[in-house]
Structure 1
Amino acid sequence: MLGSAMLCPQLLHAQETPLLPEEKPQIETRHTAVLERVQPGYVAPGIPLGGFRLAPSVEVTGIHDDNIFGTQDDRVADSLLRIQPQLALQSQWARNSLSLDAKGKVDRYLNRSTENIADYSVTGRGVFDINQATTLTTAIRAEGIHQSRLSQDIFSQTIKPIYYTQQSGAVLLAHDFNKLRLSTTARVARFDFRDGQLADGSIADYQPSDNMSYRVGVRASYAQTPSIAWFTSASYNIRRFRTGSIETPKRDSNGFELLAGVSFEPAALIRGSIGIGYIQQRFRLPFYNDLGGLGFNATVQFFPTQLTTVTIRGNRSVLDSGIPGSGGYLSTQGSIQVDHEWLRQLILSASLGYQDSRFNNLDRTDGRISAKASATYRISRYAGLKFGFERLDQSSNGTDRYRAFKDNRATIGLTLTR
């Protein structure tokens, strides 16, 4: 709830799992979204290990992409096999909780072997009930990731995708005073990028993107009734970069986010959380223009039937830029998603999203329209099939514009669980 203001843009994947789990709801939970619903006959039992349960799984997906480099002209198409193993270890205690989640992603292309990657992510979490009113949550994560060829931070076509690592940790302390809840968070993250090699043999220097980010935040929420709670939040972030260059001096900055809003879940078929306020990021060097303005973070869900969920999301934040000469950009994002459950075994999903990115120090504004559709079929508690189609349409405007492109991707995958 305290914003994503410290996130590096390369990490903003649609399926990224938040480092900290969500706080326990302060208001009553009346509705269950389609993607939250648990069907007893389709839940894998896992493997008991004393006071823990181990849930192994693997997802194997065939993908065809008609523009793997995200280029405006001379599009290159290819097919790939993606293998995503996962091991999830979860405690089964009546009080307190520990979990360890290890994931991998291996891509193997049919023709373009230079695009082959192997990524990993390991996350550990702990939730401790200090007493009936106080909860302490901690989390750490280590990742090794390749930058997507479709990222807005691509400024040159390297022979292989850019690889970077991230180590992060966070802590959340929450205490309830009857109807009033106070919480505080702290997070630190480190990003380290490897240089890339260009087709002419020269080096693409990514060291100016290496950075450490720190954020602290506080939040106060008052439950006026069991179905509505008012909140206010404030966060402060510090971003420190390892080095700079003549073209791109060090991007060090400090910033804050102030939000106020409401969380609600009335008897009517709707629930959500809406926060509106102000965001600002000030750069230490006068070379960069400061960024700021209206900030918001909102999620609203509608339940026209028990089998259909409509989710609307919106967010505005300041993100770090990987483009030479720019310190950051103001990102405004919005999306709508519809999920429908049919005959318990089949889930149909469709979504439409838009992102507007305005870079400081550059005459450049990017617009990204994304559309997705998928069908997930539960074969049994141990297996499932998923079919999907995704389209990304990026425009870039201004004298410093980089590239406009379209990308279409079709997928078919099999998930096996135990």
Structure 2
Amino acid sequence: MASFNVSKKITYLTLAGAALVPGGAFAQVVTEPIPVLPNDYPIERQGVADRYRPDYESEGLAVGPMQVRPQLGVGGAYTSNVYGAASGELDDFYLAVNPSLTVQKTNGGDNAITARFSGALRRYAEETRANETAFGGDIDSTFALGNNSFLQAGGSAHRYYERQDSGSFPTGALAPIRYSDLNAYLRARAGGSRVRLTAAVDIDRTKFSDAKYSDGQTIDQSARDRRVLRGSTRGEVSFTGSTFGFVELRYSDINYLRNFLDNGDANRDGKQYEVLSGVRLDSGKLRGQVAGGYVRRTFKAPIYNDFGGFALNGEVVYYASGLTTFTLNGYRNITESGDPNISAQFTTGVTAKVDHELLRYIILSGQIGYDRNTYRGYNRKDEIASVRGGIRYLMTRRFEVNAQAAYVKRTSTGAQFGPEFNRFEFGVNLVGKL
């Protein structure tokens, strides 16, 4: 039942995540591979934030063989620095509207199809140039093949916004940059309880709209548009019933849709190779996986120098008690840059989060994070530190109230330094579910 449990967990995580005030975590434009091995841990043990609470969870609507879960979040928030300016900051209030719809169909056993549709709208009171209208949809399917083997396939189409605390945000840009992302994947796993092999392939296309600058100019961002074809394979061996060792190989073919940059230089087409080895465990109060290895980025055009280095990917959850969960995440990898003068960048980050169930219907959360971006062929280093806290109040099966506050500080050093700013945000929203 592992793969069905994955689909069920995704459904509840989606509903819980949509309840938060948007803007707590600004996504960096990183087109990582679809995870070659999804988190198929037993659903019986969940963290405080992710736990299913039958007294406060809506079961949705039964429509024939499908389960439908509509949800709407509406709230208001304040930000002290709308455009991420180093000086002359402009603060403002904004209205946030977050509709979502999850549809799931199961055919018995491990077979399941889940579709999710969502929107994230921001409407500022005065700084309307920063308004956002994000939306998208995902579909995931799982087909059991027997003997602990399965096939998974899916795809997504989204409109996102790249904000100022993304490591790839272009220097000098003013408002968030709209971009679209299309993705399709296929994943298969075979093996038993001691040895198993997983393979995956996915294709991702990202396209950027023009950037707006403070002097009123718009800058064409089409040189960043790219298509990435990736393949991954992973072999696992069980040391004990709860501990696995694994080796994972990844290959990415990176093709920019424009052959040349605005200055006439060739674009940054190339390949990326990754070799990772690690441990996956689910024992006692600990659950998670940690992998380290080597990543290398090569370029088709000789004007760019190939480079590589240490890669890291890990998440460990500590179940301190039935009321408190600690989560530690760490990563280091090569990512694409939004600046045409930079071939690529190393992105390193760590986050530590604690979730505590004060009462059955009140969940407290706190998180600290640190990200560092170093830019290849460019004398620049950016650092982003953040502190976040939130309260989730479960009123009934149909309604909940959420409040969240966040502080973000971005600094940049080097001869060609990037954006620097401080920002404080606070927001409250009401979520209704059927």
Give TM-score scaled by structure 1 length: 0.92
Aligned with 2:422 (options 386, 396, 406):
406
Aligned with 2:29 (options 8, 11, 14):
11
| Alpha-carbon contact 2:172-2:419 (below 8 Å) kept | no
Structure 1 residues 227-249: Cα deviation after superposition (integer angstroms, max 9, x where no partner): 11111100000110012222763
Within-5 A mapping of 1:49-128: 49-95=63-109, 96-128=111-143
Counterpart of 2:5 in structure 1 is none
Q: Secondary structure at the match of 2:277?
A: strand
Q: Secondary structure at the match of 2:229?
A: strand
State how far apart, in whole Å, the 1-side matches of 2:34 and 2:225 are: 21
Structure 1 residues 166-194: Cα deviation after superposition (integer angstroms, max 9, x where no partner): 11111110011341010001010011122
State how far apart, in whole Å, the 2-side matches of 1:416 and 1:18 are: 31
Counterpart of 1:6 in structure 2 is none
| Alpha-carbon contact 2:342-2:377 (below 8 Å) kept | yes
Structure 1 residues 263-286: Cα deviation after superposition (integer angstroms, max 9, x where no partner): 11223x222211111111112222
Counterpart of 1:372 in structure 2 is 388
Structure 1 residues 185 and 174: alpha-carbon distance in aligned structure 2, compared to 1, 3 A threshold: same
- Unmatched segments (≥5 aa) in structure 1: 1-8
Amino acid at match of 1:252: D
Structure 1 residues 355 and 179: alpha-carbon distance in aligned structure 2, compared to 1, 3 A threshold: same
Task: Report the more deviating stretch, 314-323 or 87-96.
Answer: 87-96
| Alpha-carbon contact 2:197-2:236 (below 8 Å) kept | yes
Counterpart of 1:143 in structure 2 is 158
1:417 aligned onto 2:406: no
State how far apart, in whole Å, the 2-side matches of 1:17 and 1:88 are: 23
Counterpart of 2:274 in structure 1 is 257
Counterpart of 1:36 in structure 2 is 50
| Alpha-carbon contact 2:120-2:135 (below 8 Å) kept | yes
Structure 1 residues 198 and 343: alpha-carbon distance in aligned structure 2, compared to 1, 3 A threshold: closer
Counterpart of 2:322 in structure 1 is 306
| Alpha-carbon contact 2:197-2:235 (below 8 Å) kept | yes
Identity, in percent, stands at 23
Aligned with 1:347 (options 363, 385, 394):
363
1:332 aligned onto 2:348: yes
| Alpha-carbon contact 1:247-1:324 (below 8 Å) kept | no
State how far apart, in whole Å, the 2-side matches of 1:201 and 1:312 are: 42
State how far apart, in whole Å, the 2-side matches of 1:369 and 1:343 are: 30
| Alpha-carbon contact 1:385-1:415 (below 8 Å) kept | yes
Structure 1 residues 340-365: Cα deviation after superposition (integer angstroms, max 9, x where no partner): 01221011010111111101121000
Structure 1 residues 378-406: Cα deviation after superposition (integer angstroms, max 9, x where no partner): 00111111111111111101001022111
1:115 CA drift (Å)? 1.5
Counterpart of 1:295 in structure 2 is 311
1:319 aligned onto 2:308: no
Amino acid at match of 1:226: G
Structure 1 residues 52-89: Cα deviation after superposition (integer angstroms, max 9, x where no partner): 11000011121100001001111110110010100100
State how far apart, in whole Å, the 1-side matches of 2:300 and 2:81 are: 39
| Alpha-carbon contact 2:37-2:198 (below 8 Å) kept | no
Q: Secondary structure at the match of 2:320?
A: strand
| Alpha-carbon contact 2:34-2:185 (below 8 Å) kept | no
Structure 1 residues 316 and 190: alpha-carbon distance in aligned structure 2, compared to 1, 3 A threshold: same
Give TM-score scaled by structure 2 length: 0.88
- Unmatched segments (≥5 aa) in structure 2: 1-26
1:237 aligned onto 2:262: no
Q: Secondary structure at the match of 1:35?
A: coil
Counterpart of 2:147 in structure 1 is 132
State how far apart, in whole Å, the 2-side matches of 1:139 and 1:82 are: 29
State how far apart, in whole Å, the 1-side matches of 2:33 and 2:250 are: 21
Counterpart of 2:17 in structure 1 is none
State how far apart, in whole Å, the 1-side matches of 2:208 and 2:43 are: 42
| Alpha-carbon contact 2:165-2:410 (below 8 Å) kept | no
1:218 aligned onto 2:233: yes
| Alpha-carbon contact 1:55-1:89 (below 8 Å) kept | yes
Amino acid at match of 1:258: V
Counterpart of 1:205 in structure 2 is 220
Q: Secondary structure at the match of 2:55?
A: helix
Counterpart of 2:197 in structure 1 is 182
1:160 CA drift (Å)? 4.9
State how far apart, in whole Å, the 2-side matches of 1:24 and 1:319 are: 27
1:105 CA drift (Å)? 1.0
In the comparison of the two structures, how many residue pairs are matched? 405
Aligned with 1:273 (options 289, 292, 313):
289
1:24 CA drift (Å)? 2.7
Amino acid at match of 1:216: G
State how far apart, in whole Å, the 1-side matches of 2:423 and 2:264 are: 31
State how far apart, in whole Å, the 2-side matches of 1:380 and 1:21 are: 35
| Alpha-carbon contact 1:19-1:140 (below 8 Å) kept | no
